[in-house]
């Protein structure tokens, strides 16, 4: 398990800002291993190919597939470092982010006793996301792949698949609840505790008002101990397929190596929305 939420490059190594500070202020940074913040100058300075992790873990992402400028790079909007609701990455239907290094924390997402939470501030365009598009993943619908992915189900419902490299997923869960509100900013997430089973895991969404947590049994059946097939990506399923629709926006992306509660995610929503006024 890797810890540490100290801002990289800070004088004396102790000053945090942006979403990282928001998460620290609600005392939920202990298990935070990735904090991406489009509005924070240390996470993205307005140019270059890297969306940098604010924590000390170095879970940095490329814009697009790699370090080269390309048509699959999301477009930064706003003023670098302004930390308002106008700073975000805009996707055009062919854009995504790819992790630079597949850390142990990411490799553990699909393995036995997985315990994690992934959350994002995302604007879902009018009409919602297309069927089978994924907001993160390192596998795809091919049974031989290993990893996790999030293909949108019918009526833009939330869905999570965990592949084990052979026929029959290790875990597959589809809800009847929409992943988020279209034409609006949402905090969406998945909190998963594989060992706990039962109703310990849940899909989360909130866009003003109260949050919705839809529980599910996240027990994995014969999960693979192998590495994920693809590098973990944001804005697609992992293989370059299921890329999110045009006009999707990402402002923040947070990963924890622990399963947070609905109340925890509500605290993150309140603190981060309070600093940016998304909703």
Dihedral of CA atoms 76, 238, 148, 100 in degrees, nearest 10, equals: -60
pLDDT at 176: 83
pLDDT at 14: 44
Terminal Cα distance for the chain, rounded: 34
pLDDT at 15: 73
Distance CA 37, CA 275 (A): 12
With b for 16 or more beta-carbon neighbours within 10 A and e for fewer, the 112-128 pattern comes to eebbbbbbbbbbbbeeb
pLDDT at 183: 97
Distance CA 233, CA 97 (A): 5
pLDDT at 154: 84
Helix, coil or strand: residue 107:
helix
Distance CA 252, CA 120 (A): 5
CA 50 to each of CA 13, 79, 233: distance values in angstroms, whole numbers, following the listed order = 21, 16, 13
Q: What parts of the chain have a pLDDT lower than 70?
A: 1-14
The token duo for 223 is: 């999960």
| Residue pair 34/53 in contact by the 8 Å Cβ criterion | yes
Distance CA 16, CA 68 (A): 29
pLDDT at 66: 96
Q: What is the pTM of this model?
A: 0.95
Which of these, 167, 188, 192, lies nearest to 256 by C-alpha position? 192
Distance CA 273, CA 279 (A): 7
Query: Which phi and psi angles does 132 have, rounded to 5°?
Result: 75, 5
Kind plus residue range of the DSSP H or E element containing 22: helix 18-25
Q: Are strands 184-193 and 115-124 parallel, antiparallel or unpaired?
A: antiparallel
């Amino acid at each position: 398990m890797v810890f540490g939420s100290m801002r990289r490059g800070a004088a004396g190594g102790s000053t945090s800002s942006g979403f990282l500070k928001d998460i620290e202020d609600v005392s939920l940074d202990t298990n935070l291993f990735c904090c991406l913040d489009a509005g924070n100058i240390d996470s993205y300075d307005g140019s270059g190919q890297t969306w940098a992790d604010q924590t000390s873990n170095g879970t940095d992402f490329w814009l697009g597939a790699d370090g080269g400028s390309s048509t699959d790079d999301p477009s930064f909007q706003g003023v670098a470092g302004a930390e308002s609701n106008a700073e975000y990455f805009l996707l055009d239907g062919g854009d995504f982010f790819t992790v630079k290094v597949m850390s142990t924390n990411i490799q553990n997402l699909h393995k036995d006793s997985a315990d994690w939470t992934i959350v994002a501030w995302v604007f879902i365009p009018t009409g919602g996301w297309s069927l089978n598009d994924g907001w993160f993943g390192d596998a795809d619908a091919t049974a031989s792949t290993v990893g996790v992915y999030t293909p949108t189900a019918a009526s833009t419902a939330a869905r999570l698949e965990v592949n084990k490299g052979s026929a029959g997923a290790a875990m597959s869960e589809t809800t009847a609840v929409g992943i988020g509100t279209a034409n609006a900013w949402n905090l969406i997430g998945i909190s998963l505790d594989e060992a706990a089973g039962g109703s310990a895991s849940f899909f989360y969404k909130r866009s003003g008002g109260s949050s919705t947590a839809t529980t599910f049994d996240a027990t994995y059946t014969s999960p693979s101990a192998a590495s994920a097939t693809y590098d973990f990506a944001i804005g697609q399923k992992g293989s370059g397929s299921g890329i999110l629709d045009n006009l999707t926006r990402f402002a923040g992306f947070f990963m924890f190596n622990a399963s947070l509660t609905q109340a925890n995610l509500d605290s993150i929503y309140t603190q981060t929305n309070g600093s940016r006024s998304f909703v």
